[in-house]
A and B are shown apart, each in its own frame.
Chain A
Amino acid sequence: MDLTSEEQRTLAGDDGEAARIAMAVLVDLGAVFGADRLIPVAQVHIDATLYMVDAGVAFAERMAATGGRFRVPTSLNPSAVDLLHPEALRPPPDLLENSRRLERAYLSMGAAPTWTCAPYQQGMVPRFGQQIAWAESNAIVFANSVIGARTNRYGDLMDICAAVVGKAPCFGLHLETHRHAELVIDASALPRSVQYDPATYPLLGYIVGELAGDRIPAVLGIPPDVPVRALKSFGAAAASSGAVGLFHMVGVTPEARCLEMCTGGRKMEEIHAVTAKDLAGAAARLSNPDLSRPDLIVVGCPHYAYAEMTTMARLLDGRRVNPGIAFWAFTGRCAYGWMRHSGLLQALTNAGVTVFTDACPLLYPGESWPFTAALSDSAKFVNYCTSQTGLPAAIGSLADCVETAVTGRFRRSAFP
């Protein structure tokens, strides 16, 4: 890799230990993937923000203590706790303490306290074509696909290194020539009512992730006016069932005004048609078949935007959550602030919904809560729920979530 003299000095340790480690990681990673140079990035999003393991705290604290400072605007993924209401998720003392240690380390290096997995909706939005270094799989796929910014699927720790250096190795999805579709998924046979049903998109994303693996899919047949909420849940699902970092939706996403544009004119050998039956199959694969009565309902994985909170409030329609059910909605600080100022937060709280900011529903301290089963509108949440929280889980539409919450009886619409 060709390094500038400045980069070589950083690698030699002239800018301190943190910058040396960060540069060494970037250079090694670039060498693996054939990068010829580093490129400046406009933003970094750090994923390693949820306390899970001591190695994460050790890395962040040592980077901060050895002079690490973020050289570009840097946003933070959720914490393991609601940092504004630290008791709300009933964290054990060590979880809160470790979360505070991560908070101190990242803020001391210059991060913005965004604490959200949807920075693309919460005040840190990159523009089309911009080079960025993001971690957090759902944020990566949204930035690449829906916005057309450019990042690889960076992992925890690499994100911190990119923020300290302000650069990323130039390979993969940073390059226009590496952003072409590699397979086609044709959803045009889905009935129109299914195409316009928001509950379709997490399931479709789940299927696309399974089919694509780590390749770039082009999806055909999606209505051009599909809402952002659908694209967000689609991408989050595809990035959890597969390693999808970029998808194209022909006529919807900016690098796919037509199929030829996103394939680079190459003929696509692999084409899969998706039917309504496939969607039902995905819902069945994701959901625990024995689940009969969820007592935890989770929305906001990824973090709900303000608009999604208003959609949920409309479906609640003034009704109250059944006392036997916990209805949890997760968001970031921007939307939370707007909800507080508009009265939406008070209205949802009065209806029995608990709104958390900063935190992640997959990391709630299970030992502090008596839940037996979870229902969510997020394929990502349901995909990881059992292994992360031990709870059996099922996927439902947002309307299913709201009706189950209000009546206390498990409503699962036929999918779809």
Chain B
Amino acid sequence: MNVILKGCPVVAGHAAGRVLKSDQSISFWGGVDPHTGCIVDPRHDLFGQSVAGRVLAFPVGKGSSTGSLILLELARVGLAPAAIVTIRCEPILATGPIVIKHFYGRQIPVITLSAEDFDRLETGQPVEVDAESGTVRIEIDKKSLS
């Protein structure tokens, strides 16, 4: 059985991966190490975890405007998240995936969910993000097998 959450597409693309979720906001600059993909802010609840290949879910971006550059570097070295799911998307957060699309020709889909649907995501869930239809599909069966 799958659960489909309907949200709004922000940046186009399709990706699958396991959720890495925080209820805290994330600043890519100062918060994520561009050389390892790991969250380096010791005050963050995802401290030490790698965003690489994950469907990174957090409620809202924050902080310095260098975030988009860090995301571009993560894409360059292959450590970018597979997709980003958020509640509110601000321009700095959207800029990274948009530039990655036009500069490297790669997709990091971004979609926004309602706060209620966002709450249904849990770290470790296998999900598919489809930013054409604006959906996140939670694969319940796979989770129970894993």
Among the listed stretches A108-116, A135-143, A248-256, which one makes contact with chain B, having 4 or more residues with CB under 8 Å of it? A135-143
Q: Does B16 contact A (CB under 8 A)?
A: no
**A383 and B61 alpha carbons, distance in the complex (Å):** 16
State the Cβ distance, B127 to closest chain A Cβ, in Å. 21
The residue among B63, B66, B67, B76 with the most chain A CB atoms within 10 A of its own CB is B66
* A243 touches which of B69, B72, B92 (Cβ 8 Å): B92
Is B53's CB within 8 Å of the partner chain A?
no
Q: Does B82 contact A (CB under 8 A)?
A: no
A52 contact set on B, CB distance < 8 A: 34, 66, 69-70, 73
Q: Are A54 and B65 in contact (CB under 8 A)?
A: no
B61 contact set on A, CB distance < 8 A: 214, 243
**What separation, in Å, do the CA atoms of A383 and B62 have in the docked complex?**
13
CA distance A18 to B76 in the complex (A): 19
Known A-B contacts A29-B91, A153-B91; the reply to A158 vs B75 at CB < 8 A is no
Cβ-based interface call for A14 (8 A): no
| Chain A residue with the shortest CB-CB distance to B110 | A32
**Contact residues in B for A158 (Cβ distance below 8 Å):** 68, 91, 95, 99
Q: Which of B56-99 contact A (CB under 8 A)?
A: 60-70, 72-73, 75-76, 88-96, 98-99
Are B31 and A387 in contact, with the CB atoms below 8 A? yes
Q: Which of A150-170 contact B (CB under 8 A)?
A: 152-159, 161
Contact B102 A156, beta carbon cutoff 8 Å: no
Q: How far is the CB of B104 from chain A (nearest CB, A)?
A: 9
- Say whether A25 contacts B98, CB under 8 Å: yes
B95: which A residues are within 8 A, CB to CB? Answer: 25, 29, 154-158
Q: A56-B72, A214-B88, A388-B30 are in contact. Are A156 and B66 (CB under 8 A)?
A: yes
A214 contacts across to B, CB distance below 8 A: 60-62, 88, 90
CB distance from A59 to the nearest CB of B (A): 6
Cross-chain contact A152 with B91 (CB below 8 angstroms): yes
For the complex formed, measure the closest distance between the CB of B49 and the CB atoms of chain A, giving whole angstroms: 15
Question: CA A155 – CA B89 in complex, angstroms?
Answer: 13
- Chief secondary structure at chain A's binding surface: helix
B102 A21 Cβ-Cβ under 8 A: yes
**Contact size range, B:** 35 or more
A55 CB-CB contact with B under 8 Å: yes
CA distance A48 to B76 in the complex (A): 16
Interface pair B76/A243, CB less than 8 Å apart: no
Q: Which of B22-70 contact A (CB under 8 A)?
A: 25, 27, 30-31, 34, 40-42, 60-70
CB of A55 within 8 A of CB of B69, answer: yes
Least CB separation from B35: chain A residue: A53
**Chain A proximity of B6: nearest CB distance (Å):** 18
Residue-wise interface mask of B (101-118) relative to A, using a CB-CB cutoff of 8 A (1 in contact, 0 not): 111000000000000000
B25 touches A243 (CB 8 A): yes
Q: B64–A384 contact, CB under 8 A? A: yes
A1-24 CB contact bits vs B (8 Å, 1 = yes)? 000000000000000000001001
The one of A33, A62, A154 in contact with B65, judged by C-beta atoms closer than 8 angstroms, is: A154
A153–B88 alpha-carbon span in the complex (Å): 14
User: A32 touching B62 by the CB < 8 A rule?
Assistant: no
B91 touches A213 (CB 8 A): no
Residue numbers in B under 8 Å from A88 (CB-CB): none
B10 contacts chain A at the CB level, 8 A cutoff: yes
**A348-B21 Cα distance, complex, nearest whole Å:** 49
Give the Cβ gap from B85 to chain A, nearest Cβ, in Å. 15
B75 touches which one: A48, A55, A386 (CB < 8 A)? A55
Question: Closest B-chain residue to A23, C-beta based?
Answer: B102
The answer to whether A47 has its CB under 8 Å from any CB of chain B is yes
When distances are taken between beta carbons in the complex, the residues of chain A under 8 Å from B10 are: 32
A153-B98 in contact (CB<8A):
no
B99 touches A25 (CB 8 A): yes
CA distance A58 to B77 in the complex (A): 13
- The reply to whether A384 and B30 form a contact with Cβ atoms under 8 Å apart is yes
A362 to B94, CA, bound (A): 25
A155 touches B103 (CB 8 A): no
Shortest Cβ-Cβ A-B pairs, 10 listed: A53-B73, A155-B68, A155-B92, A156-B69, A55-B73, A155-B95, A55-B72, A135-B65, A384-B30, A158-B95
26 residue pairs A–B, Cβ–Cβ below 8 Å: A21-B102, A25-B95, A25-B102, A32-B98, A48-B69, A54-B76, A56-B72, A59-B72, A153-B91, A155-B68, A155-B69, A155-B91, A156-B65, A156-B67, A156-B69, A156-B72, A158-B91, A158-B95, A158-B99, A161-B99, A213-B25, A242-B25, A243-B60, A243-B62, A243-B63, A387-B42
Residues of B within 8 A of A (CB): 10-11, 25, 27, 30-31, 34, 40-42, 60-70, 72-73, 75-76, 88-96, 98-99, 101-103
Residues of A within 8 A of B (CB): 21, 24-25, 28-29, 32-33, 47-48, 50, 52-56, 58-59, 62, 135-137, 140, 152-159, 161, 172, 209, 213-214, 239-243, 362, 383-384, 386-388
